[in-house]
Amino acid sequence: MSSPLAIHGGPPVLRTMAPQVPWPPIDINTAVAVTAQLYNAVSLPGRTGVVAELEIRLAEFFGVRHAVVTSSGTAALHSAYAALGLADGDEVIVPAYTSHATATPLLHLRAKPVLVDCDELGNLDPERVRAAITPFTKAIVATHMWGVPARIEALADLARQHGIALVEDGSHAHGAAIGGQRIGTFGSIAAFSTGGSKPLSGGEGGFVLTDDDDLYYRVLLHGQDGSRCRSEIPIDHPLRRYALTGTGLAHRMHPLAAALTLGQLGELDRRLGGRRQIAARVITELRELPGISVPEVPGRYAPSWYAVPLLHRPEELGGLPVDALVAALRAEGCLEVDHPRAPRPLNEHPLFDAPNRLFPNLPEGWPRYRPGQYPRAERRHRNTLTLKVPHNDPELADGYIRAFRKVITHHRTLIGPD
């Protein structure tokens, strides 16, 4: 029997300080690139300099015609939805389990989010989507939760059959792929966040991808600078007359964020390769343990593992509450494990139950969403533990595995007497 749990005063498995998986990785090249940008230009309204370079490199990386960088993932989603013309009462199928930001821009456009429950990997369930399509459905939005690809081919088929748009929210899944095809290239348009510790991160930011010229011009008009719209929208295009003002929003990416993102992009595939190897080892080892389910991802799927989502099975651990499990793991020094409060099922947010207080001009008959309506999403959220895995530190990952083994072996000591 190993030593007592650290939460009970035993020695912890790991003594590595936080952050154990610093992301994005910052090295001397990052510092040089960002500092050079500081002296070069800190405002780039047009498609020039580092903004142009990043967009060209993103378009190459994803193999699409157009990439537009934005101030955030929310701005990217807002621009994508506006470009599709989603408006007044249009129904848009959105995963019940996703970031609220996947759906909130729809409220600004008065388009109706229709929530659909998730499949066994936590992503939009194509069968449930099929059942939710009505004559008013204009688009399906798929998130690839925690970097595990959604069943996007089935969703693309459905969208095609019904003549509606497929939008990907790739915010967790930069560099993820199915059968070699990158996430972000399965629908008519895709939006990504590059904020925080997203697989591709510039600290704050986002981008939109599309192959469609018209959608591209509309994305530009939604939030990019007038000078840029004037130089890119053809003189004979019907939307060209709006170039100077666009819709009046400002969604431009900061050049320093662009410099940071550009440096990360060149390293992304290599780093994700390392992350996938380590994730595979962690998953293989944790699969053997009671009380935890690991994601069983089809062989054609290459996740980006924004985090490895593990499902707590309290019934196999004497009813051990998820927070007690996380507290014990963190005490063992497993600091990258979390029971995330967000993203959470959208029906649990007051905003989707009573949006009128913040959006007073929504049409009559707006759907109200309440806790209890999306049992799969809610169960998944309640029981999800996320584990951030490093791309280059197998010893740390071994420590995580030992910490999980130790805590689960001793789980009875975490449960109080009846």
Ligand X SMILES: Cc1ncc(COP(=O)(O)O)c(C=O)c1O
313's CB contacts (< 8 A; 6+ apart) are 290, 291, 292, 293, 383
Work out which of 20, 37, 79, 99 binds ligand X, going by CB under 6 A: 99
- Site residues for ligand X, window 342-361 (CB under 6 A)? 343
CB-wise, 137 or 171, nearer to ligand X?
A: 171
In this structure, the number of other CB atoms found within 10 A of the CB of residue 300 comes to 12
CB-wise, 74 or 137, nearer to ligand X?
A: 74
Question: What residues does 385 pair with on adjacent strands?
Answer: 310
Which candidate, 223, 167, 166, 177, places its Cα nearest to that of 199? Answer: 177
| 224 lies in the site for ligand X, by CB under 6 A | no
| 193 lies in the site for ligand X, by CB under 6 A | yes
What DSSP line would sit under 249-302, residue for residue? ---PPPHHHHHHHHHHHHHHHHHHHHHHHHHHHHHHHHHTSTTEE-----TTEE
- Site residues for ligand X, window 65-94 (CB under 6 A)? 72-74
CB-wise, 142 or 407, nearer to ligand X?
A: 142
CB of 343 to ligand X, least distance (A): 6
d(CA 331, CA 62): 41
| 143 lies in the site for ligand X, by CB under 6 A | yes
Q: Are 150 and 129 in contact (CB under 8 A)?
A: no
CB of 110 to ligand X, least distance (A): 20
CB-wise, 72 or 137, nearer to ligand X?
A: 72
| 304 lies in the site for ligand X, by CB under 6 A | no
Which candidate, 270, 265, 302, places its Cα nearest to that of 61? Answer: 265
Question: Reduced to 3 DSSP states, what percent helix, strand and coil does the chain have, rounded to the nearest 5?
Answer: 45, 15, 45
CB-wise, 198 or 228, nearer to ligand X?
A: 198
Q: What is the x/- site pattern for ligand X, positions 152-191, by CB under 6 A? A: -----------------x-xx-------------------
Number of residues that bind ligand X (CB under 6 A): 15
- Residues lying near ligand X in the complex (CB under 6 A) are found at 72-74, 98-99, 101-102, 143, 169, 171-172, 193, 195, 206, 343
